């Protein structure tokens, strides 16, 4: 009998009584890879709450809801803890994989206790930015209870792990940290996946309660991995080392086809660090969209940098249905922009914002 994997996206915003209903694409890629090789896999986004809907928020909300986060961590009757237990008992996974990010360490400690109490035989495996960036230094508190820690991109690692674990040979797999005789052992760095087109399209139906997601949320995608910039505040640098890889325009069309055929989506969004960095690839993608779906009007949004926008690019974005561009500005102070190595000026921000507004886009500045 094939082993069952349950991947959990930790509750964080939900514990502040906020809900983004976002799709945890990283975990979904892992589950899809396993399912392609006949393993049973599911992704449970504990941070999304369908009862709350999709609550908009801003940085003010985030700062002043931290007290709620602390209170709900210790509230055993909160809906997320009841839901987590129910999912575990219903699915009964052999392996529980958790994506860990640093602000949610306290949430992880709570989740791990519930997993141990509910399914004491389940093996726990961890990955995510916290493990990748800090490696052994980040394995603190109750994190050390995990069977294995996955460093970096894990699509290849997780499949090798699933294949080799029953044989007892998994400790030689590159990209893993494990504990032996009280010491952490890193098996060595695994090379990046050179061709992102070789990865499967993330299967949204592997999401727990996938049918309750808004179609626009199921349409979240990534066209690339990595970011070339050197911002002082960004976690992308130690994860991707300023190396960017891109999916081909044809491969992106393949995912659009999947989303249209399976969910009849009319809205999608790109969650890349800097979506428009490779302008020719993006323009080609939208030419293909327009050629194939010319009469069908999609709505979508993306994130980017002011250095990566020009008039021709905006023309094609608009033509293909872009309704909002989110720009990382970070500060209105020239001094702060220099300190954080943003390499932009306020004048650039004004000019690009005006250009976007003239093309009738909505836009958001992150400050």
**Per-residue confidence of the chain (367 residues) as pLDDT tens digits?**
678 999 999 999 899 888 777 899 999 999 999 999 999 999 999 998 776 555 555 555 556 788 899 999 999 999 999 999 999 999 999 999 999 998 899 999 999 999 999 999 999 999 999 999 888 777 766 677 799 999 999 999 999 999 999 999 999 999 999 988 888 899 999 999 999 999 999 999 999 999 988 888 899 999 999 999 889 888 888 888 889 999 999 999 999 999 999 999 988 899 898 888 888 888 898 889 888 887 677 888 888 888 898 888 888 888 888 888 888 888 889 999 999 999 999 999 999 988 888 876 665 666 5
Same domain, 234 and 307: yes
Same domain, 222 and 267: yes
In a domain, 263, yes or no: yes
**Considering 144, 165, 186, which residue would you say is the last residue of a domain?**
186
The pair of structure tokens assigned to 338 is: 């220099």
| Structure letter (DSSP) for residue 72 | H
Same domain, 302 and 342: yes
Instruction: Please give the Cα distance from 23 to 263 (Å, whole number).
Output: 14
In a domain, 271, yes or no: yes
How long is the chain? 367
pTM, two decimals, is 0.92
By DSSP bridging, strand 95-99 and strand 123-127 are: parallel
Which DSSP helix (H) or strand (E) runs through 283? helix 279-293
In a domain, 122, yes or no: yes
- Boundaries of domain holding 357: 215-366
The pair of structure tokens assigned to 271 is: 């969650």
In a domain, 192, yes or no: no
The pair of structure tokens assigned to 255 is: 């995912």
In a domain, 202, yes or no: no
Same domain, 220 and 279: yes
């Amino acid at each position: 009998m094939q082993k069952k994997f349950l991947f959990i996206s930790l509750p964080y915003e939900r514990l502040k009584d906020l809900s983004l209903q976002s799709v945890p694409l990283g975990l979904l890629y892992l589950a899809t890879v396993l399912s392609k090789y006949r393993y049973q896999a599911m992704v449970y986004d504990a941070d999304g709450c369908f009862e709350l809907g999709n609550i908009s928020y801003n940085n003010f909300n985030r700062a002043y809801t931290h007290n709620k986060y602390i209170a709900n961590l210790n509230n055993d009757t909160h809906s997320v803890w009841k839901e987590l237990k129910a999912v575990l008992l219903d699915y009964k996974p052999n392996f529980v994989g958790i994506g860990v990010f640093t602000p949610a360490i306290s949430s992880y400690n709570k989740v791990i206790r519930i997993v141990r109490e509910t399914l004491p035989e389940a093996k726990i495996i961890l990955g995510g930015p916290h493990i990748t960036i800090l490696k052994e230094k980040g394995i603190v508190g109750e994190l050390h209870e995990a069977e294995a820690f996955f460093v970096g991109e894990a699509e290849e690692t997780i499949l090798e792990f699933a294949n080799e674990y029953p044989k007892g040979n998994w400790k030689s797999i590159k990209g893993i940290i494990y504990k032996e005789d009280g010491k952490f052992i890193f098996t060595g760095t695994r090379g990046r996946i050179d061709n992102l087109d070789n990865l499967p399209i993330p299967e949204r139906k592997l999401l727990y309660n996938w049918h309750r997601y808004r179609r626009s949320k199921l349409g979240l995608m990534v066209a690339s991995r990595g970011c070339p910039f050197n911002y002082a505040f960004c976690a992308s640098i130690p994860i991707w080392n300023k190396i960017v890889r891109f999916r081909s325009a044809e491969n992106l069309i393949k995912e659009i086809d999947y989303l249209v055929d399976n969910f009849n989506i009319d809205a999608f969004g790109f969650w890349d660090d800097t979506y428009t960095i490779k302008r020719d690839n993006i323009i080609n993608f939208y030419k293909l969209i327009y050629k194939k779906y010319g009469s069908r009007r999609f709505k979508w949004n993306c994130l980017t940098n002011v250095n990566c926008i020009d008039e021709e690019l905006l023309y094609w974005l608009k033509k293909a249905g872009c309704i909002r561009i989110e720009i990382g500005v970070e500060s209105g102070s020239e001094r702060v922009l220099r300190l954080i190595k943003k390499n932009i000026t306020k004048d650039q921000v004004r000019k690009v914002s005006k250009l976007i507004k003239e093309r009738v886009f909505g836009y958001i500045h992150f400050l």
